[in-house]
Homo-oligomer: A and B are copies of this chain.
Amino acid sequence: MTVWLNGALYAPESARIDPSDRGFTLGDGVFETIRLSGGKPMHLARHLRRLRDGAHMLDIPVVYDNAAIAAAILAVISARGLMEGAARLTLTRGPAPRGVTPPVSPTPTLLVVAGTSPLAAASVRAIISGSTRRNQASPLSRIKSLNYLDNVLARQEATRQAADEALLLNTQGALAEASAANLFLLRHGMLVTPSLADGALPGIMRALLIERCGAVERSICPDDLFAADGVFLSSSLGLRIVSEVDGRRVRRNDDRILECVDAAAIE
């Protein structure tokens, strides 16, 4: 295994994050998880655009251009001989003295790791998290930041209930997303997904499903899940069909869903 950190390749046990890195001390950064297929990162331009959008919101400079980041990913996956799997980019504001105020001239940290990715389950049992809510009133809901603990809490809740995934409500009671995926319904032949205003992360696969399959953004409440003709979760690593929510079966229409997603996933 090899990782790329701030311009150089390392064995993972040699790569060192400084204890004062604001990614570690405050979750001050953003990340991307990118599917690898045929030895190449999928939809890389979109991932890098989102990474830069998030960095811009947080005012973290990105000191590498897209070609350099692409080369870093390829260096890591070729060192590992990896054809299929997932790469992760992590960008933080870097080491800094104690305190909330960011340093005026940060030295950001950029880390690239990659590995195999377990095959996604064909179908998942989901719960609706009762322990936490997604904050649609924070701009962080619109970037892929390192502040992932609400999602971790929701996933832990799912695990405790022997479910695979948790759906998060926003603070107003509308569904926002799953703990590591966007939420879609199939209704009267149309794909529906929560809007960014409802707290959905602007997922890459979500955007492709909107652009290429005509998915529409609309508020979704828990009852809508059971009225739908199908429910699925999308992420850059693939799609998972939801078989039940809170122990209640939801209808399935796998063929139609798979057809949409095949259309969306083409590079």
Give the interface of A toward B (CB within 8 A): 3, 5, 12, 15-21, 23-28, 31, 33, 57-59, 86, 88, 90, 92, 97-102, 111, 113, 115, 117, 131-133, 135, 137-140, 145-153, 155-156, 159, 171, 179-180
| Interchain CB contact under 8 A, A146 and B26 | yes
Q: Residues of B contacting A86 with CB < 8 Å?
A: 98
| Interchain CB contact under 8 A, B147 and A27 | yes
A98 to B118, CA, bound (A): 10
Other-chain contact of A131, B28, B139, B150 (Cβ < 8 Å): B139
Copies in the complex: 2
With A20-B12, A146-B27 known as contacts, the answer to whether A100 contacts B132 (CB < 8 A) is: no
Q: Residues of B contacting A115 with CB < 8 Å?
A: 97-98
**Most chain-B Cβ atoms within 10 A of its Cβ — which of A19, A28, A113, A146?**
A19
**30 sample A-B contacts, Cβ–Cβ < 8 Å, listed by A number:** A12-B18, A12-B19, A12-B20, A15-B18, A19-B113, A24-B24, A26-B27, A27-B27, A28-B148, A28-B152, A33-B98, A88-B98, A98-B115, A100-B148, A100-B151, A101-B155, A101-B159, A131-B139, A133-B135, A133-B137, A135-B135, A135-B137, A135-B171, A138-B150, A139-B153, A140-B150, A145-B149, A146-B149, A147-B149, A171-B171
Report the nearest B residue to A172, measured CB to CB: B171
Q: Residues of B contacting A135 with CB < 8 Å?
A: 133, 135, 137-138, 150, 171
Q: Residues of B contacting A132 with CB < 8 Å?
A: 137-140
- The 4 tightest CB contacts between A and B, nearest first, are A27-B27, A135-B135, A133-B137, A147-B147
Other-chain contact of A171, B16, B92, B137 (Cβ < 8 Å): B137
